[in-house]
Structure 1
Amino acid sequence: MTTTPTARRSRATSSADPVFQSPVEITGRCSAGSAQQPPEHRKGAPVGEAADFPHRIVDPKQTGATRIASVNVNGIRAAARKGMGQWLASRDVDILALQEVRAAPEILSPLVTGFAEQAGAQDPETHWHVHDHEAADKGRAGVAILSRTAPVATRTGLGDGRPEDDGRWIEADYELGDGSVLTVVSVYVHSGEVGTLRQEHKMRFLADMREYLPQLADRADHVLVLGDLNVGHTELDIKNWKGNVKNSGFLPEERAYFDEFFGEAGYVDVARSLAGEVPGPYTWWSYRGKAFDNDTGWRIDYHMATPQLAAQAANPRVDRAADYSLRWSDHAPLVVDYQLP
């Protein structure tokens, strides 16, 4: 694991509701086959605003809350072209974990600068501190953490430089108001495929996580692990779970690791704890067929928190696009507000 002081890595660019909801349910959602109607296309929306900013989501943040989000962008350049900047400008996010960035730092930072400019403000608080862990194999994997305030330290890598670790794990430490430290992780677990080397890498990575997560919890005051973990933990996490019991992403041996993450390792599945025992809410849908329109999805994106931090979580949202044509990734952001000390 590589540790990097903030001064060397930072590139600063110029609740109480326990029910898990999607903003689409709040702002209006198109049914399959209906005319496209972005979230802001509703009575009372300012003339021109809906058409100009179809990716905006209205969800005011509670006073004093820290909004933390995670999303697999499926390539940051494509996401930026398709409307990610509009989404980010409207969400008042304080910390954002990205996975599958697939871009070098010299590409990522200007894109993030563009996101800040889309917010339409010159205040430095609209700018981001950007930290990333790029994969050696260009155009693959890559994780990053964006934050309004600079972390006091960052670290990259989960293992000892093994191939399965490349561009998949980054940590950032933030000093909180009471002097304690919050460690935020952005992680991207391999997608895998049964019988392939990728699946072997995935299983080794999950084993490394099982070993390391308790150590991280012992070392830090608060820990929040964010990312695309590419595993549905229970039958509630996959719409078509019966058809996937022999596929990577829902294998018993993969799910057993999550039993340990949320058991002996001491972490809390924040989204599930707030949603209760209900199907989903899903965060990934295949581009094939009508998976998105029919909500035939997988819940494979997580907020994993140490218990004291999880107790301060509220207002969870899956920012599912209002229409297939408005998707800027095959994943939807998972957004949660935390009352930090």
Structure 2
Amino acid sequence: MPATIARVVVMLRLATFNVNGIRAAQRRGFSPWIQQCVPDVVALQEVRCPLEALPVEAFAGFHVHYTPGNLAGRNGVAVLTRIPPAAVRGWGGSIWSFDPTGHAQPLAPAMPGAPTALARELRPFVDEGRYLEIDLADHALTVACLYLPKGDSPLNPQTRTGEPLTAERIAAVQRRYDRKMSFLAGFARQLSRSRRAALAAGRQFVVVGDFNIAHTPHDVKNWRAARTASGFLPEERAWLDAQLNPRTLVDVIRRLHPDQDGPYSWWSWMGQAFARDTGWRIDYQLASPALARTASTGFVDRQPEAPERISDHAPVVVDYDY
């Protein structure tokens, strides 16, 4: 009788969460959320906190790697792991490591050769705290965390109610639009390089975070009205189309929920958007195909009621079974 060979399945729970300011998120319930969700790895965007004010008590039990950027009160991404990672890479800005006791130390700031090795269009973003990638020590996996610029829409240059639409306002909108388009052009190449480097090293690859782009009409509640809005412009959606391919990167949540509207991950603080689920799906986990095939469960961890919201985003959580 042949011997039975047991297959060992190890689950990895990966969460990505735009916290819209970690100090505010902590006041609203970040610690209880992370204790209830029990993720193995957490990628955070818009941490928006100077090092000396970082609420390290929010990260109990985790090793934290954080690139705050140099724009006060803006941006900043972090990756939290239960086990110290094998490697940490950024684009050239400062990276700080915190152990579970809160002890901090600076790390070497960049990927080999960065920032000169970066795509040219990304070099203006080096010090903005928008990207961090780590190699996990306990899985053959590279996790990249991204906060993509929000941009603006020349098709819809809105002002506050009653304010005139001035030439200066129109020019500012165009600059924000151009800046996002430049980032997208460079990031497409950089994303391909990082993915290929991971696979060449025998690792799977996943990029997670706030992309500030909704891909299809399934990803915006009122998609017809959104067609001239930043985040749903045809050229933005075409860019995301180009990144997704069954042989390169797979939208894991959409793979698990192919015909569902949403699940949305962002809702305006205004009005009844959250209560009516009038949202956008702009937070993603894009995984290499072999990794995507192991995803058994994926969901948006949406709070039940508006007063319980931690952020204007909700965490996107995926369980990967190796």
The higher-RCO structure (CA 8 Å, 6+ apart) is 1
Instruction: Pick from 129, 139, 156 the counterpart of residue 167 of structure 1.
Output: 129
The aligned amino acid for 2:25 is A
* Structure 1 residue 312: Cα displacement: 0.8
Structure 2 residues not aligned, in runs of 5+: 1-8, 92-117, 155-172
Deviations 1:258-292 (A, max 9, x none): 11110387100000000112200000000111110
* Structure 1 residue 242: Cα displacement: 0.4
Q: Is the 8 A contact 1:131 1:144 kept in 2?
A: yes
SS at match of 1:214: helix
Q: Is the 8 A contact 2:247 2:289 kept in 1?
A: no
Change (3 A) 1:130 1:204: same
* Matching of residues 314-325 of structure 1 within 5 Å: 314-325=296-307
> Identical aligned pairs, as a percentage?
45
Instruction: Pick from 183, 186, 200 the counterpart of residue 145 of structure 2.
Output: 186
* Matching of residues 243-322 of structure 1 within 5 Å: 243-263=225-245, 266-322=248-304
2:44 aligned residue: 98
Deviations 1:286-332 (A, max 9, x none): 01111101000000000000001111112112111110000010000
Write the distance in 1 (CA, Å) between the matches of 2:56 and 2:300. Answer: 22
The aligned amino acid for 1:248 is S
* Structure 1 residue 115: Cα displacement: 4.3
1:233 aligned residue: 215
Q: Is the 8 A contact 1:101 1:141 kept in 2?
A: yes
Q: Is the 8 A contact 2:213 2:237 kept in 1?
A: yes
Q: Is the 8 A contact 1:164 1:201 kept in 2?
A: no
SS at match of 2:16: strand
Write the distance in 1 (CA, Å) between the matches of 2:52 and 2:81. Answer: 18
1:132 aligned residue: 66
2:103 aligned residue: none
Q: Number of aligned pairs?
A: 263
Which moved further from structure 2: 155-164 or 96-105? 155-164
Q: Is the 8 A contact 2:40 2:82 kept in 1?
A: yes
SS at match of 1:279: coil
The aligned amino acid for 2:31 is G
Instruction: Pick from 327, 331, 334 the counterpart of residue 309 of structure 2.
Output: 327
Write the distance in 2 (CA, Å) between the matches of 1:151 and 1:237. Answer: 33
Matched, 1:113 2:95: no
SS at match of 1:66: strand
Structure 1 residue ranges (4+ consecutive) displaced by more than 4 angstroms after TM superposition: 158-161
SS at match of 2:39: coil
* Matching of residues 138-157 of structure 1 within 5 Å: 138-157=72-91
The aligned amino acid for 1:205 is F
Write the distance in 2 (CA, Å) between the matches of 1:176 and 1:215. Answer: 23
Q: Is the 8 A contact 1:145 1:170 kept in 2?
A: yes
Q: Is the 8 A contact 1:210 1:265 kept in 2?
A: no
Q: TM-score, normalised by structure 2?
A: 0.78
Deviations 1:68-112 (A, max 9, x none): 00010000000000111110011111100000000123333xx23
Write the distance in 1 (CA, Å) between the matches of 2:300 and 2:246. Answer: 27
1:80 aligned residue: 26
- Aligned-residue CA RMSD (Å): 1.7
Structure 1 residues not aligned, in runs of 5+: 1-62, 117-126
